[in-house]
Amino acid sequence: MTLHRRDFITLLGGAAAAWPLAARAQSPERVRRVAFLHALSESDPEAQARIAAFRRGLEALGWTERRNIQLDHRFSAGDFDQIQTYTTELVRSTPDVMVVSSTPVLTALKQATSTIPIVFSLVNDPVAQGFVASLARPGGNITGFTFIDFPLIGKWLELLKEIDAAVRRITFVFNPLTAPYYPSYLRELGAPATSLAKLSATPVHNEAEIESSVTAFAREPEGALIAGPDPFINTHRVLIMELASRYRLPAMYAFRQYVTEGGLVSYGPDSIDIVRRSASYVDRILKGEKPADLPVQAPTKFEFVINLKTAKALGLTVPDRLLALADEVIE
């Protein structure tokens, strides 16, 4: 077939017009930046488990590091000065989304930016703390996934009583700076708590206060303690578990990690699952949705873990009913 000069010029022009489109189609995807400010230390096994879960959640939605997403992690280890330093650094870097996993970190970020989208996980009572306008319609640049619900504290009391029927006094150990919502929770418990055991609050701010407060509480018999799930308590969990062992105090924790490290019993939301689920909101925001329109979600999976070795060391026999209910029994 003969190709006339006019046809050749037309064909050449069409190819030239199509070439930029093909080149654009083959250009690399824009890499999106997500900054994750942790309340834990980098060496904490729980922190590493959360990072792995978050990465799995993103990968399931098509986000792969070094291809279309970059994750910048910072670890504050519950240190307020470090939280402020990292908050300033990360906000100045203007990531596409920020992810946080505690009340102190979220408080710092809320004060630092009202424009960068923020997805939280493991934060309690976000409406009362002023992070969102409502659970259904957060209304600003913040949304996410809650952790402890008020009724769970009552469940902790019931489980401690069932594990050790002799318990008459239970104290709740927490740091009011990192967990300011617990005093109101404890006041609301009121009569339901006193029908099971006398409930008291033990606010602590440093290791010396933890040691002196728990020691003073243990001077009277029939006591047990609940370790509040906040970054400060997590950072000092080894000391709290050592004191519980030293004074033979049955102790309840919110995180499975405490029990695998020697604590007696834990019951609470699956923190790893919550962090994994938070990746879904990061995905939706990166695809154009606004935090204001994404409802705050509650936990959907809970874990009940018992350490039988610790129970035996405390002279306790865990009822068969609880062993049957447990998700994991450590022997």
Phi-psi region of 131 (alpha: psi -120 to 50; beta: other; left: phi over 0): alpha
- Note whether residue 24 is domain-resident: no
With tokens 């938070």, the residue in question is 278
Same domain for 234 and 154: yes
Same domain for 165 and 74: no
Q: CA 40, CA 82: separation in Å to the nearest integer?
A: 11
Same domain for 133 and 85: yes
CA-nearest of 205, 201, 220, 211 to 244 is 211
Query: Tokens at residue 253, please?
Result: 């924790």
Q: Which residues neighbour 229 within 8 Å (Cβ) at sequence distance 6 or greater?
A: 147, 148, 179, 253, 254, 255, 268
Same domain for 155 and 142: no
Into how many domains does the chain fold?
Answer: 2
- Note whether residue 211 is domain-resident: yes
Q: CA 58, CA 89: separation in Å to the nearest integer?
A: 24
Same domain for 287 and 165: no
The CA-based angle 298-302-306, given to 5 degrees, is 150
CA-nearest of 88, 125, 127 to 105 is 88
- Note whether residue 20 is domain-resident: no
Parallel/antiparallel/unpaired status of strands 302-307 and 265-269 = antiparallel
Looking at residue 282, which CATH number applies to its domain?
A: 3.40.50.2300
- Helical H runs in 223-267? 231-235, 237-246, 256-260
Per-residue pLDDT of the chain (331 residues; tens, 9 = 90+): 444 544 544 444 454 444 444 444 444 568 999 999 999 999 999 999 999 999 999 999 999 999 999 999 999 998 889 999 999 999 999 999 999 998 999 999 999 999 999 999 999 999 999 999 999 999 999 999 999 888 888 899 999 999 999 999 999 999 998 888 888 778 777 666 778 889 899 999 999 999 999 999 999 999 999 999 988 999 999 999 999 999 999 999 999 999 999 999 999 999 999 999 999 999 999 999 999 999 999 999 999 999 999 999 999 999 999 999 999 999 9
What pTM value is reported for the model? 0.86
- Note whether residue 251 is domain-resident: yes
- Note whether residue 91 is domain-resident: yes
Same domain for 231 and 112: no
Range of the domain at 311: 150-269+303-330
Same domain for 235 and 199: yes
Same domain for 106 and 41: yes
Same domain for 107 and 43: yes
With beta carbons less than 8 A apart as the criterion, state whether 186 and 122 touch.
no
- Note whether residue 16 is domain-resident: no
Q: CA 62, CA 138: separation in Å to the nearest integer?
A: 26
Query: Tokens at residue 234, please?
Result: 């997590």
Same domain for 275 and 265: no
Same domain for 102 and 60: yes
